[in-house]
Structure 1
Amino acid sequence: MRLLLGLLLACAILPAQAADPRAGRRLAGARCAVCHGNDGIAVQPDAPNLAGQNPAYLAAQLAAFRSGARQQEQMSLMARELTDAQIADLAAWYAAIEVTATVPGR
């Protein structure tokens, strides 16, 4: 229930921020690229790909890590000090990366 409330709150607040993908790119390069890659394609086997994700989803997850509603040792530490604006910028950056998929057998 606490996680759901945190996600709903993040969805209600964070999308209203004027997100700057360029600022998100700079922040991602400094904080996120080691695990999630420079292009949002994970380089660590236990890290998810972030490229092309929905910005509201990304913002909600980062807000949940920041608040403690969602727990994962590394992400909880990384998100703890993020501001709402930084979360919106990161979400905008990763959402702006275009991803293509190839369906097997075609």
Structure 2
Amino acid sequence: MRRMLKASLLVALIGVAGGALAADPATGRLLASKCQTCHGLDGIAKIPIAPHLAGESRIYLETQLKAFRSGKREHEMMSVIARDLSDAEISDLSAWYESIQITATMPE
């Protein structure tokens, strides 16, 4: 039983890692053209009610997009946009926004 549990866990971890390796930020950048009106292609929100996405965790973004897609989380605009996204597109978009490096400077 213990051996079977370890084998199942290993298969699950490989599946997660495989999915993580498959995400393509370059493809995500192309897909982000759908997002740029509110969140900006560079991940910096263009409207006050939209969050910045640049540098955000891929896992967080994937979780939120899947929640919008499934209806677990609702938002008038995001629910419509996420509805047609595939798992691969969600991973690619999330990888793109996570890959954007932001810096902050302190005012002098």
Q: TM-score, normalised by structure 2?
A: 0.79
RMSD, aligned α-carbons: 1.9
Instruction: Give 2:76's match in structure 1, choosing from 43, 49, 73.
Output: 73
Which protein, 1 or 2, shows the higher relative CO under an 8 Å CA cutoff with sep ≥ 6?
A: 1
- Larger helix fraction of residues: 2
Corresponding position of 2:54: 51
Instruction: Give 2:27's match in structure 1, choosing from 19, 23, 27.
Output: 23
Task: Report the CA distance shift for 1:14/1:39 in structure 2 as closer, same or farther (over 3 A).
Answer: farther
The residue type paired with residue 28 of structure 2 is G
CA contact 1:15–1:56 (8 Å) conserved in 2: no
Instruction: Give 2:35's match in structure 1, choosing from 27, 32, 41.
Output: 32
- Separation in 2, partners of 1:15, 1:59: 14
**Aligned-pair CA distance for 1:16:** 4.3
Task: Report the CA distance shift for 1:15/1:39 in structure 2 as closer, same or farther (over 3 A).
Answer: farther
| 1:82 equivalent in alignment to 2:85 | yes
Note the residue ranges of structure 2 that are not aligned, 5 or more in a row: 1-12
Superposed structure 1 runs of 4+ greater than 3 Å apart: 12-16
Larger Rg: 2
Q: Give the SS at the match of 1:76.
A: helix
Q: Give the SS at the match of 1:52.
A: coil
**Aligned-pair CA distance for 1:34:** 0.5
What percentage of aligned pairs have identical amino acids?
55
- Separation in 2, partners of 1:16, 1:42: 31
Note the residue ranges of structure 1 that are not aligned, 5 or more in a row: 1-11
